[in-house]
Chain A
């Protein structure tokens, strides 16, 4: 039978309570218990406490499994949002390219080789600049 995360957390709590109960018993009857009895009770306490911690580990794994689909969906949405942000940055790049292109067009019209080279370089930089 497969446990749900809630059941696993609940079991963890129950094991913890049992461990505490045993501990309370051991300490309240400390003088009445023989060393062997104390040892046996103590071993049981640690076993129950570790069972509680083991159930926490299991529950955490189950929670992660249970929400894997939602997590995947969220990843998809985040990637879409990142693409939208990239588009916003691209708009900036397009305007920069247009500015450089205006300069190049004027240089070509004026047939100024120096200005053409300079503006062509500017256009190249605007077109290849990093978006990030």
Chain B
């Protein structure tokens, strides 16, 4: 009995010492995971790259055949960029996914495993049931605290090391979207106008003109949907970059309440944008 009390006291001391050494409590970084997860999903949206690649082929509908060889050449050049463009998106997705997993509680909760170990110890008479229970409780807290501390350190290292290249890569993708993909939509509108306007001006048939104007407006409406997707995706990239910058700014205080609330808001905004993107 005295022996058992002694073990229990030692365990309590072990627990206290362990927690003091680790100097951390268990933290919940769920909002960071949430932000990272939705960032990963949103960054993976490839609809705009598809539009960019198909642009020259689509232009053939509006442009004279004398321009088709040039458009074919443009198609080939854009097709050659496809893999690199998709790889950028895929890597932003992969990076955010890794960040989210490091911030997640799930991989560092070993409670079930430790319970099983405690039971095995007791069942095999290596310790009394009471000691085995105490061992389990202590181990759970210490494991969790240690893993939590390690996880936060790795997360901090990742954010610190990656922020600068991450901002550059996301910024570059945003430039491509804002100036390249959006430029395509402007060129598409001009092509639509150039195609329909001469026919309308040359026609004397009022019903025919009305029908042509309707067709033109339908085409222009399609471009507006595409432009909306560009605006939404650009916003998504801005939010991802800005959220990562906030994490970097507070990297030494990742469980800061204000930061976690902000990450939650960012995640909500991203989810809204992503839902709109998916519906377009």
B239 at the interface (CB under 8 A from A): no
State the Cβ distance, A125 to closest chain B Cβ, in Å.
13
Residues on the B chain within 8 Å of A53, using CB:
55-56, 59, 74, 183-184, 187
Contact across chains for A88 and B186 when beta carbons are under 8 A apart: no
Produce 1/0 per residue, A56-71, CB < 8 A to B. 1101110110110111
A120 at the interface (CB under 8 A from B): no
**Please, which residue of chain A has its CB at the minimum distance from the CB of B162?**
A77
**Bound form: Cα–Cα A63–B191 in Å:** 26
Residues on the A chain within 8 Å of B116, using CB:
95-96, 99
B245 at the interface (CB under 8 A from A): no
Interface size on A, residues (CB 8 A): 56
**Bound form: Cα–Cα A105–B125 in Å:** 11
Contact across chains for B184 and A56 when beta carbons are under 8 A apart: yes
Residues on the B chain within 8 Å of A46, using CB:
63-64, 66-67, 194
Q: Which of A5, A70, A100 has most chain B Cβ within 10 Å?
A: A70
Residues on the A chain within 8 Å of B157, using CB:
80
Contact across chains for A106 and B124 when beta carbons are under 8 A apart: yes
**Bound form: Cα–Cα A61–B80 in Å:** 10
Produce 1/0 per residue, B12-34, CB < 8 A to A. 00000000000000000000000
Interface size on B, residues (CB 8 A): 66
Chain A interface SS verdict (over half): helix
Residues on the A chain within 8 Å of B107, using CB:
85, 88-89, 92
Q: Which of A46, A81, A89 has most chain B Cβ within 10 Å?
A: A81
B209 at the interface (CB under 8 A from A): no
Residues on the A chain within 8 Å of B114, using CB:
95
Interface set, chain A 28-50, CB cutoff 8 A to B: 30, 38, 42-43, 45-47, 49-50
Contact across chains for B124 and A102 when beta carbons are under 8 A apart: yes
B168 at the interface (CB under 8 A from A): yes
A91 at the interface (CB under 8 A from B): yes
Stretch from B92-100, B230-238, B268-276 contacting the other chain: B92-100
Contact across chains for B108 and A88 when beta carbons are under 8 A apart: yes
**Bound form: Cα–Cα A9–B179 in Å:** 7
Contact across chains for B81 and A19 when beta carbons are under 8 A apart: no
Contact of B95 among A5, A38, A47, A77 (CB under 8 A): A77
Chain B residues close to A by CB (< 8 Å): 52, 55-56, 59, 63-64, 66-67, 70-71, 74, 77-78, 81, 84-85, 88, 91, 94-95, 98-99, 101-102, 107-108, 110, 113-114, 116-117, 120-121, 123-126, 143, 147, 151, 154, 157-158, 161-162, 164-166, 168-169, 172, 175-176, 179-180, 183-184, 186-187, 190-191, 193-194, 197-198, 201
Kindly list 6 other residue pairs between chains A and B, CB separation below 8 angstroms, not including A23-B197, A67-B169: A54-B74, A60-B52, A95-B116, A96-B116, A102-B121, A103-B123
